[in-house]
Structure 1
């Protein structure tokens, strides 16, 4: 059941794809020069002091366009960043990029993400090299005998790891990869199963990083009195339509009731032919032949104990995954060194290699925050909300709030940062229309979960794809039809609730 090999078909496919992408570099250069010249021209049409209006949407649309063509998330995001800087001030693109990079790097949230992702990568790398992940997979393999059972178990594990979507995305995917490979389930489907139980589950559980963050935001923006933010959040959970419906969809897929279609169908056909790992993915070449053998019960304990310490420490430190990951990493190093599973230098190497593996996902998330900064300067979020305001009514407010904010989060990839801007606008609207505050908050959290779930460069999507062994674009393109089904049903549900509670 080991996956420490690279299928020849993947290598050949990757080579063919690479040749296709580089066959005409001059045309691509001319194309991007023309696009950037267009954005520079648009900047001359903007009157200083006035809103950018529709122009504010163009960098985000460019990102989506380039991503679909190139299948490269990082390059697509930087194309949108440069376009946005040209739109803001074409004479200061270089200095603007420097200032933007510096502001993002100095952002406390980004620093937290970098450390959490790096430490989680290191922790999971230690668990893999110590044989614990393999032991956990073998334990599951003895009890799960079907393809459907494997997918349903992945979903259940995702729900059990509810404390944070980062932990879910990395830990569940790492523990299930061998088993899903055994039953010829594509890595793209594994990423979908994991990602669909990440943010959608985290918003539904009041003991999660999402709940703590949004409860504080609700108090700051007047939606709830001081100390009552969490109470409002809990009251809003029944109305978080996207979270509930995304769970329904993923369980229907896992149970085989909802079939494969679109890019997922192609991925599953490839997996059934014996190639579960998609083209262009490099397989971790860590040599497991010299791994010290332990009994299955000890190996299972060596997996479950660090996970338990991670969750317990995070809860102890007010649901701070960074401190939880730090405590769990130190605990795991002591535990494995004491059992002589790995030497101290091997443990340090495992941590450092885990950081290295996470560098690309971290870069994508950081670039996504740069996009958010650009969109904030272009005032994209207020423009979208202002454009919808003439059509708002008490009955339509929840559904339109969900649709508009889902679009904003999808375009920016920032499921948390966007709401710092939007809450001061949306909450007064709900108060003015005398709409149910729990319903309004439920619509907002639904939008946040959809954006995190569907956007190809959101942190949840990037980490789920990294942990599962596929690219963010491969994951996003196979997942988006199912996310849109849940989003459409959520929109209809919020529309009905709006009229029912008006």
Structure 2
């Protein structure tokens, strides 16, 4: 890791830029704060986050700085601290945020238990006897992603943690593993009608009166062929694994490092490669498959609720390990706590991302961007414009479901008014959500995939971004062509 201190000139330049941004934010408050009509200036906090993250390579700090800029824009100096406290409380009391914290923490506990019981190690040994090549191991990783399709959190955390040692043995960089894991998370979940994404979006379609009550899932299924980003993303990852698509950007350097020296982790990522707990040396693959199968089953049984599924599967795993006398009860409960605590860092990133989303809601960022682009939404252009605009918003705000609560009531009535093809427009919007989840460097899927693979979110995001952008450009062109054809 580079620990050289910043040069005085760099420190002065950064300080001057920071003061200029704060001064401009204060100007925005005094000019627009009374009525909140920020217009294009509502994008300022997000721009600050992106620029700061690219410069510092740190996500939590960048997000928090963006939140502070947004609060300065919307509050007086006297109200700044109380407003920051209110934002913290609003996010903490958000039911969705609480669910994510508990669900992801329990997933961390589940992974810790499987690791302690030697299940992950046994699975890795078993896989090596079946698959002997790098391509075979990576295609096995992708196949697991297609099997564990119920939820992108479940997908990313389970597969990333399970495949680390198998891919390390064939000299695959953790950056490439994280890319494969993330590419089979949200992109797979949106093209299968039995996932959390299908449940959420089908309900949203019914709320917006484009599908009758109980028929939202039918419209979702009709839109699956038009969810181009998911299909393109899967095609790109297949080409990348097979070597038909050359390595892009920093991924090339990461793979060269791993293949030439066997260093699957960069120096910057080594502090992030923390094993939650040690494992039992002599174990068998049932100690992997039984916990994971119970996790998938109970998540499905409890109406695709990963939090309830994780709780139930932890009880099953405790009983299964207890019968075998693999670990004492004290060791297993210590593992549950350590696994939960091990998720604090990625959850901190997600929490700050939700704070930024709260600030963007206050500034009216989503409404401004959508309203500014409605002039381009003819029946032919609407699918492509809807995809590009909502993908950009999802990427910028890290809100992959929330912005569609605002966006769908604006875009779908417009689609009906201009007689656009509704399944195509729905497919474009859900594709935009998947793109945002895949590409955003402080998004939940990105953060959790990086955590599961033992690297930093920025390393994962930067190495994955060229592939995500390639998929996004091809998808946008596809929606333009289909808009004129249909």
Normalised-by-shorter TM-score class:
over 0.9
Q: Within 1, Cα distance between the matches of 2:277 and 2:347?
A: 26
- Aligned match for 1:423, one of 404, 408, 419: 408
What is the aligned partner in structure 1 of residue 466 from structure 2? Answer: 481
Deviation per CA, 1:212-254: give whole Å up to 9, x if none: 1111111111121111111111111000010110010011111
What is the aligned partner in structure 2 of residue 128 from structure 1? Answer: 115
CA contact (8 A) 2:105 2:339 kept: yes
- Answering whether residue 90 of structure 2 is matched by residue 100 of structure 1, we say no
Q: CA deviation at 1:284?
A: 3.0
Q: Within 2, Cα distance between the matches of 1:221 and 1:97?
A: 33
- Answering whether residue 269 of structure 2 is matched by residue 277 of structure 1, we say no
- Aligned match for 1:45, one of 24, 31, 40: 31
Deviation per CA, 1:246-279: give whole Å up to 9, x if none: 0100111111111112111111122122210122
Q: Which moved more, 1:299-308 or 1:24-33?
A: 24-33
Structure 2 residue runs without a partner (length 5+): none
Q: CA deviation at 1:51?
A: 2.2
- Aligned match for 2:280, one of 291, 295, 305: 291
What is the aligned partner in structure 1 of residue 3 from structure 2? Answer: 18
Q: Within 2, Cα distance between the matches of 1:243 and 1:313?
A: 26
- The 1:456/1:225 distance shift into structure 2, 3 A limit, reads same
Three-state SS of the structure 2 residue aligned to 1:496 is helix
Q: Within 2, Cα distance between the matches of 1:342 and 1:95?
A: 48
What is the aligned partner in structure 1 of residue 368 from structure 2? Answer: 383
Deviation per CA, 1:157-210: give whole Å up to 9, x if none: 111110110011111111110011111111111100000000000000000011
Q: CA deviation at 1:150?
A: 1.2
Q: Within 1, Cα distance between the matches of 2:265 and 2:45?
A: 32
Q: Within 2, Cα distance between the matches of 1:78 and 1:487?
A: 28
- Aligned match for 1:89, one of 69, 72, 75: 75
- The 1:356/1:25 distance shift into structure 2, 3 A limit, reads farther
Three-state SS of the structure 2 residue aligned to 1:167 is helix
CA RMSD, 1 decimal: 1.5
TM-score with structure 2 length normalisation?
0.96
Structure 1 residue runs without a partner (length 5+): 1-13
Q: Within 2, Cα distance between the matches of 1:406 and 1:292?
A: 46
What is the aligned partner in structure 1 of residue 420 from structure 2? Answer: 435
What is the aligned partner in structure 2 of residue 348 from structure 1? Answer: 333
Q: CA deviation at 1:291?
A: 2.5
What is the aligned partner in structure 2 of residue 203 from structure 1? Answer: 190
- Answering whether residue 49 of structure 2 is matched by residue 63 of structure 1, we say yes
- What does residue range 313-462 of structure 1 map to in structure 2 within 5 Å? 313-462=298-447
TM-score with structure 1 length normalisation?
0.93
Q: Within 2, Cα distance between the matches of 1:39 and 1:20?
A: 29
Q: Within 2, Cα distance between the matches of 1:153 and 1:22?
A: 47
Q: Within 2, Cα distance between the matches of 1:418 and 1:179?
A: 38
Paired residue total: 481
Three-state SS of the structure 1 residue aligned to 2:37 is coil
Q: Within 2, Cα distance between the matches of 1:351 and 1:466?
A: 17
Q: Within 1, Cα distance between the matches of 2:419 and 2:13?
A: 55
What is the aligned partner in structure 2 of residue 117 from structure 1? Answer: 104
CA contact (8 A) 1:222 1:427 kept: no
- Aligned match for 2:65, one of 69, 72, 79: 79
- The 1:309/1:395 distance shift into structure 2, 3 A limit, reads same
- Aligned match for 1:250, one of 221, 233, 237: 237
Q: Within 2, Cα distance between the matches of 1:491 and 1:500?
A: 14
- Aligned match for 1:300, one of 285, 292, 298: 285
Q: Which moved more, 1:34-43 or 1:363-372?
A: 34-43
Three-state SS of the structure 1 residue aligned to 2:394 is helix
Q: Within 2, Cα distance between the matches of 1:263 and 1:47?
A: 42
- The 1:74/1:131 distance shift into structure 2, 3 A limit, reads same
Q: Which moved more, 1:23-32 or 1:255-264?
A: 23-32
